[in-house]
Amino acid sequence: MDLSRIFRNNQEWIAEKLKTDADFFKNLSQGQNPNVLYIGCSDSRVTAEELMGTQPGEVFVHRNIANMVPNTDLSVMSVITYAVTHLKVNHVVVCGHYYCNGVKLAMASADMGVLNPWLRNIRDVFRLHKAELDAIVDEEAKYKRLVELNVQEQCVNIIKTSDVQKAYKDREFTVHGWVFDIHTGELIDLKIDFDKILNEIMEIYRII
Ligand code: CO
């Protein structure tokens, strides 16, 4: 890829934006008021804003390998606190994707160096749901299900934070688990039943 193309694209993008709204960048410079925090995978095929059709200023975005929310990761935890408590978003989304290489690596025996502790979080998801996953014979179906269960457990990690527990008490606030299907381009709402899941574990994680 010729990097000079990126700067040409940027000039074209500026012209395109100004054609429809002469004040576009002036308005952007006034501040942001996003209503959604999106946590997704860094995978170059899963572009957050493009697949959602959202405009600059609408979605606060955090991406890392396999859309993880590790409890001790200062980066994702800071993003959650800033988005939920300061920007006051009403929705937090964890968006996984089928054929995620991070999830695939966690299903294999592979020494990935500094990535090992990161991927171990996904192995922990596998252990939590081992009975369900072991019952799936088809390898691709098992892989896809682990992607979904990983999204679910990262959503639960979000609900363990005090910022999110406060937001649930104070206002209309929802955590969502989605999956992007690279094969079709479709964004799928997993419609995770958090009430059912949290009923069983909230007595452990409630801190507010
Ligand atoms: Co991925």
Q: What is the pLDDT of residues 42-97, one digit of tens each?
A: 999 999 999 999 999 999 999 999 999 999 999 999 999 999 999 999 999 999 99
Nearest residue to 152 (alpha-carbon basis) of 104, 179, 192: 192
| pLDDT-derived band at 112, boundaries 50, 70, 90 | very high
pLDDT digits (tens, 9 = 90+) for 45-55: 999 999 999 99
Q: How confident is the prediction for the chain on average, in pLDDT?
A: 96
Residue 63: the pLDDT is 98
- Cα of 41 vs centre of ligand 1, distance in Å, is 5
Cα(173)–Cα(80) distance, rounded to whole angstroms?
Answer: 13
Cα(186)–Cα(97) distance, rounded to whole angstroms?
Answer: 10
Domain range annotation of the chain: 1-31, 33-205
> Of 8, 21, 23, 45, which is the active-site residue?
45
> Of 100, 155, 163, 176, which is the active-site residue?
100
- The pTM of this model reads 0.96
Told to judge if 97 belongs to the known catalytic residues of this protein, a careful annotator would answer: yes
Report the percentage of the chain scoring pLDDT > 70.
Answer: 100
CATH class of the domain at 33-205: alpha beta
pLDDT digits (tens, 9 = 90+) for 147-186: 999 999 999 999 999 999 999 999 999 999 999 999 999 9
- Cα of 95 vs centre of ligand 1, distance in Å, is 10
